[in-house]
């Protein structure tokens, strides 16, 4: 509508509007509906086994590191980019954590910042390549995925590094004991709070606030929505781009120790294909790969859906192979539900 | 001989009756202009003709026989071609590829395609290689390429929706020559335009629509009467600016500014530009397509690096390296293409309007949403943007209202110098008058305004001084007292220009 502006043709006849409105509402709330559906299936099929604190905590704990990756990926997607390297970054961060623990006996509170610096550094390179060298982020982060995975395998000699290190007395060293709090099942903060769940929720809250309440958040949406308009409005598009990739890398670094503690070791293959779960969570939550559209709340719900899906299917002894198939289908359904206009196909309506 | 009859056409969108019982007949070789404010139903009527909508009421006859037009393909079969306002060209393909898009042979005959394209382009006076990519062409060139595309098919009725909105006066002339040539061959042309002065020249008949209904038609163009028919009320003076103004202090001074062009992008290099803008002054920049009008404004806004020359703003040296620096010094740019350059269409009015001035609304590092919405609301009301609220999505506003949001966005930065690139392009007469009034009041409030426009009457009416650009140089400067004519400005705009002959 550059010039004469008739109202943009919403391409629907009055008779169809109620159906359409229903689907529009679904589009906005589809993630929540999906969540409720999965909970219902879980309760219906497994009842108490599904709906108890231990099971749910474990389920979220198993997915927490991917959920944290999803938050970082959401930031990048909001600017219109994509980050395929987060799985590899998580891998090298978990390896870093395990090595810091086993070789240098560092305290857990020292390990986390180191991992975040490592992840942030690679993330910064992603951003620099994208913003300065103008490499498409898909390509840049695909390359990073490969490079970092290679480095991870090289430094570890292709051998996984355990985090349950025994001292001379045969018991776990104090550092290793403390490290378990990062997510080894059965180890809770204050005997109550499972750290991965807490970390995931805190990360979501913090980044939700950053995106909705700060100038930086506004600029992220502006860069994704229309980079030219953003630049002409005084937004430093280059800096925002580099920042979101760096933050995504730092979050991957932050998730590394959690993954290492959960598996009680850092595997050279750790985090492989996590990027796909992270992207799926963002997309199910309503983020658009075109940029400018999406929320952390959506990603949070998207991650929960994937988490509980894994759990419910696992409890019902659905094989891994079928789990993958179902996960893929759910992504497609979620995206279709966000696009009510697609339903015109089924009604044979006009496309304009 | 009547070629097209549209009878009692009606169309509803949810909540809106866009068209109601509108009839239109067009004869062979006739140019019929459709006139009406935004939302009058012109585009809807033409979209029905072009097969954009599957469902509508009424009947269409072509050459005396009922034609069922329910898809673009139907329309094409009946010899109807439409050049949409939003150009439909693929940027990464060449001109020839675009012209034949969808009609190519299975195995491309490039030589024939390029030869035919070259012929069409020549006919339009465009000196471009058929192999040039669309993305390397300027907006005005693309518009003419759309015309070429329409012509490459067997057209009986050609619909042009605002074909001149991106063209400078000389290109408009060229387009008229083409239209006359077409009508001479019996093609009927339906022409939508907001520029009344054009209709006088090109249209045989003017049909006025208002609120989706047929209001009347005239074969003589009487400006005042037509405006009254469109608006339903007398609009008064179209350009409200009174004499005077511009006696303030020098605000912007540009000396010997040279900015290199960019090969491939079609960016015009600027050569030794010197100019000044005083507080309270409206200075116009005239010039043909490719004269460097946008480049000049963009360079002052810090988008391009100059290789020579200097600028000062408010008496202090001014060297913006990016828009951010320019904004900080109180400079605003209302860019040429509001959809591509100014707005995040999928986001809200408040989001867009506060983007460059977010710093004002920060409290403890976070955006104070309440203060932000209040400020935006005040500005938006002041500019009389028609919207349900500040949380309304900008993309759903009409062109005129979108442009007002862009203006609101820049006014919120409290600029001292406002650069405007085609501020009234493609918006209806009412909104246009409001924007002109705004420019006057900005100048009266002591701000400097530098405005580039391809509409000479607009510049002549609004500006205290007019600079004429040609090939990146200033070739003339006229003050209001000199009472320059359009001819004098055009002459300067074409000084030393290699004229592409038809």
Residue B7 has pLDDT above 80, yes or no: yes
Give the distance from residue B109's alpha carbon to the nearest chain A alpha carbon, in angstroms. Answer: 31
* Helix A237-263, helix A86-104: angle, nearest 10: 50
Cβ-based neighbours of B478, under 8 Å, separated by 6 or more? B465, B466, B468, B484, B488, B489
Note whether B124 contacts A: Cβ–Cβ < 8 A: no
Instruction: Give the DSSP per-residue string, A193-260.
Output: B-HHHHHHHHHHHHHHHHHHHBHHHHHHHHHHH-HHHHHHTT--HHHHHHHHHHHHHHHHHHHHHHHH
pLDDT of amino acid A342: 63
Residues sharing a CB contact under 8 Å with residue B389, sequence separation 6 or more, in sequence order: B349
The whole-number average pLDDT for the span A11-37 is 53
Look at residue B333 and tell me whether its pLDDT is greater than 60. Answer: yes
CB contact under 8 A, B322 and A5: no
Residue-level pLDDT at A345: 55
Under a CB-based contact definition with an 8 Å cutoff, are residues A72 and A237 in contact?
no
Interchain pair A292, B344: CB under 8 A:
yes
Alpha-carbon distance A217 to nearest alpha carbon in chain B (angstroms): 10
Only one residue has tokens 């002894």, namely A317
Confidence check: pLDDT of B325 > 90: yes
**What is the rounded distance in angstroms from the CA atom of residue A59 to the CA atom of residue A314?**
10
Q: How confident is the model at residue A154 (pLDDT cuts 50, 70, 90)?
A: very high
Assess B17–A contact: CB distance below 8 Å, yes or no: no
Using a cut of 0.80, tell me whether the model's pTM lies above it. Answer: no
Largest CA distance in chain A: 82
**Alpha carbon of B494: minimum distance to chain A alpha carbons (Å):** 28
CA distances from A149 to A14, B382, B460 (A): 55, 57, 65
Pairing of strands A265-266, A161-162: antiparallel
Q: Are A96 and A115 in contact (CB under 8 A)?
A: yes
Task: Map B438-498 to HEC letters.
Answer: HHHHHHHCCCEEEEECCCHHHHHHHCCEEEEEECCEEEEEEEHHHCCCHHHHHHHHCCCCC
Instruction: With cut-offs at 50, 70 and 90, classify the pLDDT of residue B365.
Output: confident
Residue B113 pLDDT: 87
**Whether A205 contacts chain B with CB within 8 A:** no
**Over the stretch A304-348, which tens digit does the pLDDT of each residue have?**
988 888 888 888 888 889 988 988 898 888 888 776 666 555 554
- What values do phi and psi take at A56, rounded to 5? -65, -40
Mean pLDDT calculated for residue range B147-166: 82
Residue A3: predicted pLDDT = 40
Query: Considering only B175-179, B237-241, B314-318, which range has the smallest mean pLDDT?
Result: B237-241
Give the DSSP letter of residue A7: P
The closest alpha carbon to A244, from A216, A278, A205, belongs to: A216
The DSSP annotation for B65-82 comes to EE----SHHHHHHTTEEE
Res. A94 pLDDT band, cuts 50 70 90: very high
Mutate to test the interface with A, among B14, B49, B69 (most CBs of A within 10 A): B14
Nearest CA in chain A to B357: A233
Cβ <8 Å between B323 and A7: no
Q: How many CB atoms sit inside 10 A of residue B107's CB?
A: 6
Q: How far is B190 from chain A (nearest CA, A)?
A: 15
The span from the CA of A220 to the CA of A78, in Å, is 7
Residue of chain A whose alpha carbon sits nearest to that of B364 = A214
CB contact under 8 A, B162 and A17: no
Task: Tell if the CB–CB gap between B324 and A228 is shorter than 8 Å.
Answer: no
> Do residues A64 and A197 touch, judged by C-beta distance below 8 A?
yes
C-alpha to C-alpha distances, B83 to B103, B196, B337, B394, nearest whole angstrom: 17, 19, 18, 25
Contact at CB, B426 and A3, closer than 8 angstroms = yes
pLDDT, tens only, B247-272: 678 999 999 999 998 765 668 889 99
Distance CA B274, CA B252 (A): 10
- What distance in Å separates the CA atoms of residue A71 and residue A296, rounded to the nearest whole number? 7
State the ipTM, two decimals: 0.76
Using the predicted structure, report yes or no on whether residue A25 has a pLDDT greater than 80. no
From chain A, the residues in CB contact with B345 under 8 A are 225-226
Whether pLDDT at B233 is above 70: no
Tens of pLDDT, residues A202-246: 999 999 999 988 999 999 999 999 999 999 999 999 999 999 999
Q: What is the pLDDT of residue A340?
A: 63
**By C-alpha distance, which of B414, B436, B467, B446 is closest to B251?**
B446
Q: At residue A249, does pLDDT exceed 60?
A: yes
Alpha carbon distance B310, A272 (integer Å): 55
Domain A60-336 fold is ABC transporter involved in vitamin B12 uptake, BtuC (1.10.3470)
8 A C-beta contact, residue A313 and residue A291 = no
């Amino acid at each position: 509508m550059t010039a004469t502006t008739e109202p943009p043709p919403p391409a629907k006849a009055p008779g169809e509007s109620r159906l359409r409105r229903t689907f529009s509402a679904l589009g906005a709330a589809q993630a929540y509906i999906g969540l409720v559906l999965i909970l219902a299936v879980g309760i219906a099929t497994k009842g108490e086994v599904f709906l108890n604190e231990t099971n749910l905590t474990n389920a979220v704990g198993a997915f927490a590191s991917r959920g944290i990756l999803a938050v970082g990926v959401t930031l990048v997607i909001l600017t219109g980019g994509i980050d395929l390297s987060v799985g590899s970054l998580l891998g090298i961060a978990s390896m870093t954590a395990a090595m810091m623990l086993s070789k240098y006996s560092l305290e857990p509170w020292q390990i986390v910042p180191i991992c975040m610096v490592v992840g942030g550094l690679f993330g910064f390179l992603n951003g620099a390549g994208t913003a300065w060298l103008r490499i498409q982020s898909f390509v840049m982060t695909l390359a990073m995925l490969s490079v970092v995975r290679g480095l991870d395998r090289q430094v570890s000699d292709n051998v996984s590094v355990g985090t349950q290190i025994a001292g001379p007395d045969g018991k776990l060293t104090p550092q290793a004991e403390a490290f378990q709090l990062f997510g080894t099942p059965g180890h809770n903060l204050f005997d109550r709070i499972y750290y991965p769940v807490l970390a995931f929720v805190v990360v979501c809250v913090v980044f939700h606030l950053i995106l909705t309440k700060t100038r930086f958040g506004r600029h992220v949406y502006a860069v994704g929505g229309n980079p030219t308009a953003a630049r002409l409005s005084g937004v430093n598009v280059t800096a925002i781009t580099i920042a979101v990739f760096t933050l995504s890398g730092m979050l991957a670094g932050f998730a590394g120790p959690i993954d290492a503690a959960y598996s009680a070791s850092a595997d050279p293959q750790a985090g492989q294909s996590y990027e796909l779960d992270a992207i799926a969570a963002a997309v199910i939550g309503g983020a658009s790969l075109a940029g400018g559209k999406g929320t952390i709340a959506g990603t949070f719900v998207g991650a929960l859906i994937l988490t509980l899906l894994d759990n419910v299917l696992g409890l019902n002894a659905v094989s891994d192979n079928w789990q993958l198939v179902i996960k893929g289908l759910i992504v497609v359904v979620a995206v279709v539900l966000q696009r009510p206009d697609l339903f015109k196909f089924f009604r044979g309506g006009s496309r304009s | 001989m009547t070629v097209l009859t549209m009878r009692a056409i009606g169309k509803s969108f949810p909540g809106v009756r866009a068209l109601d019982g509108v009839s239109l007949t067009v004869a062979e070789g006739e140019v019929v202009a459709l006139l009406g404010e935004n939302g009058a139903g012109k585009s809807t009527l033409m979209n029905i003709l072009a097969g954009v909508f599957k469902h509508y009421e009424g009947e269409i006859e072509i050459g005396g026989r009922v034609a069922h037009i329910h898809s673009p393909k139907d329309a094409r079969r009946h010899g109807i071609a439409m050049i949409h306002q939003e150009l439909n060209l693929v940027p990464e393909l060449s001109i020839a590829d675009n012209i034949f898009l969808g009609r190519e042979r299975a195995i491309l005959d490039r030589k024939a395609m390029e030869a035919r394209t070259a012929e069409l382009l020549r006919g339009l006076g465009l000196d471009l290689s058929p192999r040039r990519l669309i993305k390397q062409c300027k907006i005005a060139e693309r518009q003419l390429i759309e015309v070429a595309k329409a012509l490459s098919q067997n057209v009986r009725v050609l619909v042009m929706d605002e074909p001149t909105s991106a063209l400078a006066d000389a290109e408009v002339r060229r387009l008229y020559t083409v239209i006359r040539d077409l009508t001479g061959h019996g093609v009927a042309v339906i022409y939508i335009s907001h520029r009344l002065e054009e209709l006088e020249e090109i249209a045989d008949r003017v049909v006025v629509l208002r609120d989706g209904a047929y209001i009347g038609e005239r074969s003589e163009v009487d400006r005042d009467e037509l405006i009254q028919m469109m608006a339903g009320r007398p609009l008064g003076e179209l350009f409200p600016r009174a004499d005077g103004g511009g006696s303030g202090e020098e605000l912007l001074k540009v000396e010997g500014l040279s900015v290199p062009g960019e090969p491939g992008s079609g960016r015009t290099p600027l050569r030794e530009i010197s100019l000044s803008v005083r507080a309270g002054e409206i200075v116009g920049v005239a010039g043909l397509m490719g004269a460097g009008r946008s480049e000049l404004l963009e360079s002052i806004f810090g988008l391009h690096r100059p290789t020579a020359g200097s600028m000062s703003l408010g008496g202090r040296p001014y060297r913006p390296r990016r828009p951010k620096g320019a904004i900080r010094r109180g400079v605003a740019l209302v860019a040429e293409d509001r959809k591509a350059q100014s707005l995040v269409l999928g986001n809200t009015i408040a989001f867009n309007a506060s983007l460059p001035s977010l710093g004002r609304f920060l409290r403890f590092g976070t955006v104070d949403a309440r203060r932000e919405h209040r400020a935006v609301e005040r500005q938006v009301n002041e500019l009389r943007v028609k919207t349900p609220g500040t949380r309304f999505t900008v993309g759903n506003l009409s062109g005129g209202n979108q442009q007002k949001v862009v203006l609101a966005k820049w006014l919120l930065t409290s600029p001292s110098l406002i650069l405007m690139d085609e501020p009234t392009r493609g918006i209806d007469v009412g909104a246009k008058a409001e924007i002109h009034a705004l420019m006057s009041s900005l100048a009266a409030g002591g701000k400097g305004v530098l405005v580039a426009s391809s509409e000479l009457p607009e510049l002549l009416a609004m500006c205290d001084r007019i600079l004429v650009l040609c090939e990146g140089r200033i070739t003339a400067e006229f003050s209001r007292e000199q009472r320059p004519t359009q001819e004098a400005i055009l002459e300067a705009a074409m000084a030393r220009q290699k004229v592409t002959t038809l």
